Structure 1
Amino acid sequence: MQSMINENKWVTYMSKRARLIYNPTSGREEGRKRLVDILQRLDAAGIETTTHATEGEGDATRCAAEAIDNGYDIIIACGGDGTLNEVIDGMSRKEHRPPLGIIPFGTTNDFARALGIPRNWEEACELIARQELRAVDVGRVYTGNQAKHFINIAGGGVLTELSYEVPSKLKTVIGQLAYYMKGLEKMTRLRPTELRMNVEGHGEFHDEFMLFLITNTNSVGGFEKLAPSASINDGLFDVLLVKKCNIAEFIRIAAMALRGEHLNDPHVIHMQTNRVEVTTPEYVEINLDGELGGSLPASFEVLPSHLNIFADLSGVSSYR
């Protein structure tokens, strides 16, 4: 039976059971501080919610898979890009995948930014309560016999190591500044890597590259124009390669990327595809949504419209 919920004019049709998986250290511990308020807001919308605080690497993945096995109607990821990645990895392995809600409390929140999910926790809860769903693609990567999933970005190269090398305690204390500090340190070790890439529909690329990025959205590391044509549900990755260059040239390209002008630079290769294979004679780690995801060689593929996520279908929600 249709009912109106409080002053927020949320609409629900029946009570639903949700499992909220949260990182107590994300966003300077703001998620932990707001947990009671979040639960009250969801309860007012007819969403009966239990919680799980993550305790270490892989914990959110296990909890998301267990929540599906236990019949929860909704999974909610509350934290940053790392927490979201683990939740999506756990869900994507299952044949039945309930809707996913996102309450972003991390330092960067790339995927939430790309999907227009507001950083304001009250507005994020409202999106979940409104029950409007958007189908989104998921990326899957194979490294050896192991498969993992990502929702926003996969990549390799010295600067892609930033997000998982910055200590969580430092991010809790100083937020985005921690990445800038680490980036300055990384610049002194910036060097190209020999890569061989087989890109479906585009052939083979064998050269020295500063980094490679395989994106599912337009927002990567806070750069909102890195892949301007990327769509979350077109069944395609946007692949970006930066050819060998010196530090001054690399900084110039990064500045251009802030304005979305980098794709015409001769050092940048941009393509769209649904499958990529990457090999190298060197040791290169893989970044998956800001987390360490193994090392090359690896193959990447798109799983079209693999998850349904609560989003604003009337337009793009404000991100703040």
Structure 2
Amino acid sequence: MYEKAMLIYNGNAGSNDIATLLSEAVAGLSQHITEFTLMKTNERGDTERLCRERGEHFDLVIIMGGDGTVHEAVNGLIHLERSPSIFILPTGTCNDFARALNIPLKVKQACEAFKEATVQPLDIGLVNERAFSNFFGLGLITRASEGTNDDLKSSIGKFSYFLSAIQSLQTAESFSYSLQLDGKTVQDEAVMILAMNGSFLGTTNLYHEQTKLDDGKLELYIIREAGLALLKNLFNKARSPEWPGEMEGIEFIQAASLQLETSPIEDIDIDGEIYLETPTRLSLKQKALPFLVCKEEK
């Protein structure tokens, strides 16, 4: 039972039936909460501000929204002396971090799963003083995200990411990078660099057998080239819960921190939000925020 909880919902995003979703959320969760506060956001930055200014007044913060809303919440809560527990009610397009926490993607089912969810302190990534819960990326992934039409995203959801990614594969350009890691410097070229804290990207399960959400390590993927080699790797991964033993053109590294420079300067995508650029220092704050994690369905 939680004494005080704040539910933050994005009135401008995703679903057109926000009243129904709110009704389901309140009906499903209120029996576990003594004092329940609903807060509507109207513009970008509201979720981060509410979490930063009011987070410590609550035992539980419920984030109803997609990956962008979760991203804002994490940045608002990460610097608090005492963070409340965090529960995600997924109502976005991909809901990638919610997937990593085994949270059902329907609000009613998520509320049911809440009853047996357990609180686990999870790692949070840091880049240029900003936080991310799920991923850091540049190169091909950033261009795919920038190419996603907002109207298309609203109408056909995650399929729009697929269309944009295929288009980006056809026009992928490599960049030079300098990576400082474990006391050594590596210089080479790539079409994409991806650092995962979670295990889903665009609804695709990128789970690696070494992946954990609280081990203090990021999973770093350096993709050398696009085209058929990359498509083959992704196809094989989509068919299997494990990464192929041989990943042609992809280097896998685990790291707690690294420094990265690129030429030319590259835009950075964190949790689907693009507002930073290289050079950057990337690190992980271990067991930084307490999330409610649901039982994995068998």
- The Cα offsets for residues 148-203 of structure 1, whole Å up to 9 and x where unpaired, read as 101110111123343355244332211112112222332332111111111236x3
Q: 1:211 aligns with which of 166, 183, 192?
A: 192
**1:253 corresponds to which residue?**
233
Matched, 1:99 2:85: yes
More displaced 10-residue stretch of structure 1: 175-184 or 26-35: 26-35
Match of 2:139 in 1: 157
1:270 Cα deviation after fit: 0.5
The one-letter code sitting in structure 1 at the alignment partner of 2:138 is G
Matched, 1:239 2:225: no
How high is the sequence identity, in percent, across the aligned residues? Answer: 24
**Which residue of structure 2 aligns with residue 7 of structure 1?**
none
Secondary structure at 1:34 match in 2: helix
Inter-partner Cα distance in structure 1 for 2:89 and 2:280: 31
Indicate yes or no: 2:120 matched with 1:134. yes
Q: Deviations over 1:277-306 (max 9, x none)?
A: 110121211111111140011111111111
Listed as ranges, the gaps of 5+ residues in structure 2 are none
Q: What secondary structure does 2:205 align onto?
A: coil
Does the Cα contact within 8 Å between 1:197 and 1:278 map onto a contact in 2?
A: yes
- Contact preservation (8 Å) 2:47, 2:72: yes
Which of 258, 268, 284 is equivalent to 1:302?
A: 284
Q: Is the 8 A contact 1:127 1:311 kept in 2?
A: no
Which consecutive residues of structure 1, in runs of 5 or more, have no partner in the other structure?
Answer: 1-11
Cα deviation, residue 263, structure 1: 5.5
TM-score, normalised to structure 2's length? 0.91
SS in 1 for 2:24: helix
Letter in 2 for 1:17: K
CA distance in 1, matches of 2:3, 2:146: 35
Aligned equivalents of 2:45 and 2:277: distance in 1?
Answer: 17
CA contact (8 A) 2:177 2:188 kept: yes
Name the count of aligned residue pairs.
296
Q: 1: CA distance between counterparts of 2:245 and 2:176?
A: 21
CA RMSD of aligned residues (A): 2.2
The alpha carbon displacement at 1:265 in A equals 2.1
Which whole-Å CA distance do the structure 1 matches of 2:246 and 2:19 have between them?
44
Q: TM-score under structure 1 normalisation?
A: 0.85
Hey, what's the Cα distance between the residues in 2 that align with 1:277 and 1:261? 26
Is residue 172 from structure 1 mapped to residue 154 from structure 2 by the alignment?
A: yes
Shift of residue 276 of structure 1? 1.4
Match of 1:63 among 50, 54, 68: 50
* Map of 1:8 onto structure 2: none
Conserved in 1, the CA contact under 8 Å of 2:4 and 2:36?
yes
CA distance in 1, matches of 2:203, 2:141: 14
Aligned partners of 1:269 and 1:23: how far apart in 2? 38
Indicate conservation of the 8 Å contact 1:18/1:49, yes or no: yes
